[in-house]
Structure 1
């Protein structure tokens, strides 16, 4: 019989999964308390949440969130859920940067990713971490849109400038 505490935890985890653009399933075993606290503080600075939950409860929460996890084999060993609510790329950047710093341990090791509603394997973490941030992509998009508009504006203003130049030349010639 499930306890009310576990039922509440499963509901909260399912809500977090549904509210997140990406959920990273990471193996943190081997990190000491100081390293885990350092990792959590880095995630907090980036508005990323890390939560350690039992695998059986994660499986139930994923089912409650509408995902089929019966054939998934990544829920073994110790698992930490890393939620990316605002930007799905930020958790990958934090996890890979921290893993590079603790290269002797090779942790945290991402087991799988639930990225925009689709399960991806762990090899995609490096690809995701190399993506530019949302702000950079928006800046590139806006500059790409504004450049043609600037060109059209220049073409439309050219006859006016030419006419003004001709009138000024005529004015100076008559004086």
Structure 2
């Protein structure tokens, strides 16, 4: 690979790192062709981009990036694949699913919404991370709950103050 080609790859990797808030570093070495194909297919279905990268070029891209990748560059040993995802826990779920049948992919580390996770032992933690949309949905549900109680109390009590008080007291008791 010429110096110009390396420089081009570093620029592309730097742009990918800048455009994505959820980045997983994995080791998929040792997977046979069929398993690798299945992994790529699963990633595609979950809107995850999977790319095999050269460690030195990724390290330079991380260095050139505006983001602070903390200890992640230290995990760039051996074979490295990068998973870019819109949802923070999607790659972790795919990795966990694949690990039911195989020892790989291994999680080297992840950069999720500016938080850094290093080590395969954190896979279960990453699976449990809720996406921004999931958290917003939970908050909206919690906020709607008291309003729904008041509305149902108004409807069931016939709209009278006595009916409302009676309904609310029954719910608390």
TM-score for both structures, normalised by structure 2: 0.79
Q: Does the CA-based 8 Å contact 1:90-1:133 persist in structure 2? A: no
The RMSD of aligned alpha carbons is 2.7
- The whole-number CA distance in structure 2 between the counterparts of 1:69 and 1:138 is 28
Q: Does the CA-based 8 Å contact 1:63-1:69 persist in structure 2? A: no
- The whole-number CA distance in structure 1 between the counterparts of 2:16 and 2:73 is 20
Deviation of residue 133 (structure 1)? 5.3
2:118 equivalent to 1:118 = no
Find the counterpart in structure 2 of residue 55 from structure 1: 55
- The whole-number CA distance in structure 1 between the counterparts of 2:72 and 2:133 is 36
- The whole-number CA distance in structure 1 between the counterparts of 2:73 and 2:12 is 21
- The whole-number CA distance in structure 1 between the counterparts of 2:123 and 2:19 is 20
Gapped regions of structure 2 (runs ≥ 5):
164-173
Structure 1 segment 1-175 matched on structure 2, within 5 A: 3-66=3-66, 67=68, 72-84=73-85, 86-102=86-102, 106-122=103-119, 123-132=121-130, 136-156=134-154, 161-162=159-160
Q: Does the CA-based 8 Å contact 1:24-1:113 persist in structure 2? A: yes
Number of positions where the alignment pairs a residue of Structure 1 with one of Structure 2: 160
- The whole-number CA distance in structure 1 between the counterparts of 2:108 and 2:159 is 63
Deviation of residue 158 (structure 1)? 6.5
Q: Does the CA-based 8 Å contact 1:50-1:80 persist in structure 2? A: yes
Taking a change above 3 Å as real, the CA distance of residues 143 and 54 of structure 1, as seen in their structure-2 partners, is same
- The whole-number CA distance in structure 1 between the counterparts of 2:131 and 2:74 is 30
Q: Does the CA-based 8 Å contact 2:72-2:109 persist in structure 1? A: no
Gapped regions of structure 1 (runs ≥ 5):
166-175
- The whole-number CA distance in structure 2 between the counterparts of 1:107 and 1:89 is 17
TM-score for both structures, normalised by structure 1: 0.79
Taking a change above 3 Å as real, the CA distance of residues 22 and 70 of structure 1, as seen in their structure-2 partners, is closer
Deviation of residue 73 (structure 1)? 2.3
